[in-house]
Amino acid sequence: MTELLKKLMLTSGVSGREHSIREVIKNEITPYADEISVDPVGNLIARKKGNGKKIMFAAHMDEIGYFVTFIDDKGLIRVGNVGGIDTLSSAYTTVVSEKGVYGVIVPSDDKEIPKCENLIIDIGAKDKKQAESKVKIGDFFVHAPSLKKLCGTRYIGRPFDNRVGCAVLIEALKKVKNTDNDLYFVFTVQEEVGLRGAKPAAYGIAPDIGIAVDVTSVGEKPASPVTKVKIGGGATIKVKDSSVICSYEIVEKMRELAKKNKIKYQDEVLLRGGTDTGAIQNTRLGCSVGAISIPSAYIHSVNEMIDLSDVKEAVKLACAVAEEI
């Protein structure tokens, strides 16, 4: 599991530029799927055929980042955000461009929490000309990927949002036993910029049931949002986030399955933040949806924290849903 996570975490894929991470995932899952395809917007879709219910699992493979908007005479780079950047945490950290150019994020004014338009990337160029030889307007940057082990089964790094969800789906695809259900494991693009990838994927598949896998906030850390979810408390079964109210039959069914299979779970009501669940639910005629989340502290900061024990429970829950729902 840690080997897989490492592979996924250390490959960048900002929203709209998911080709590298898609290749990594594709290589990982090819032996286990009956069919593999990439749809026109770039979603990676793996199918395990069956004659029963059509179930679509979705984990987004993109991550937040920056794109270059302007290079000034001193060779300093102005950027715009791709997705919800936590600017409080991003100041003075390392970023890397899609072409492998390193730089540091500096706020143009250090008096208060900067807005994204006041962030500058310094790649150490001595002038505009040198900067332009390395970076073009429209290039993407991400915070440097990392993965470190802390106490016990806790890990810190980025982007756990949502490579950890991808890892859960990959493991579930590998472990799932034979079932009648027609299973689709979808690794979606552009979730961070408005749930854009999951919609066409759901339109194409037209599932009976949609299950998204993503991270969720925890309540016990400093400056946490209000939630009962705890890191290390097990995988969560989503009831609501700002994109969706999950179908309550699915929520009930998932709780039953968790109890039956002795899977450690928590109920989740996420106050802020949406997931692919919402996009899948209201595509075409709509479908029943639920979601499995992995509790994560400090989401969208440069150091997100997870507990590997929660990830393992999430894999078990995903398998139970795939086999028995």
Partner 1 sequence: MDFIRKALKELCSLMTLSGYEKRGKKRLFDLVSPYFDEMTEDSFGNFVFIKRCLKKNAPKLMMDAHFDTVGMMVTDILEGGFLSVVNIGGLDTRILPSSEVTVYGKEEIYGLISSIPPHLTRKSREKRSNPKIEELYVDTGYSKEELEKIVSVGDPIFIKGEYTELLNGYASASGLDDKACVCAVFDAVRQMEKSKMEYDVYVTVSAQEETGKCGAAMCAYAIKPDIAIITDVNFGSSEGDNEFETVKCGKGAAIDVSSLSDRRLTRGIMKLLDRENIPYQVICEPTNTGTNNELVSVTGLGIPTVVMSVPLRSMHTPVETLNINDISSLSNVLKTVAYTEMEAL
Binding site for partner 1 (CB under 8 A): 208, 219, 226-228, 239-240, 245-249, 251, 266-269, 271, 278, 281-282, 284-288
Instruction: Using the minimum distance from each CB to partner 1, give the nearer residue, 88 or 271.
Output: 271
In the complex, the smallest distance separating the C-beta of residue 206 from partner 1, rounded to whole angstroms, is 12
Output the smallest distance, CB 287 to partner 1, in A.
5
| Among 18, 98, 171, 191, the one annotated catalytic | 191
Shortest separation between residue 255's beta carbon and partner 1, angstroms: 8
Smallest separation, CB 291 to partner 1 (Å): 12
122 versus 220: smaller Cβ distance to partner 1: 220
Query: What's the CA gap between 318 and 49, in Å, rounded?
Result: 17
Shortest Cβ 304–partner 1 spacing (Å): 22
Beta carbon nearer to partner 1, 170 or 280: 280
**In the annotation, is 313 catalytic?**
no
* Choice between 2 and 225, CB closer to partner 1: 225
Nearer to partner 1, 84 or 225 (CB): 225
Residues designated catalytic: 191
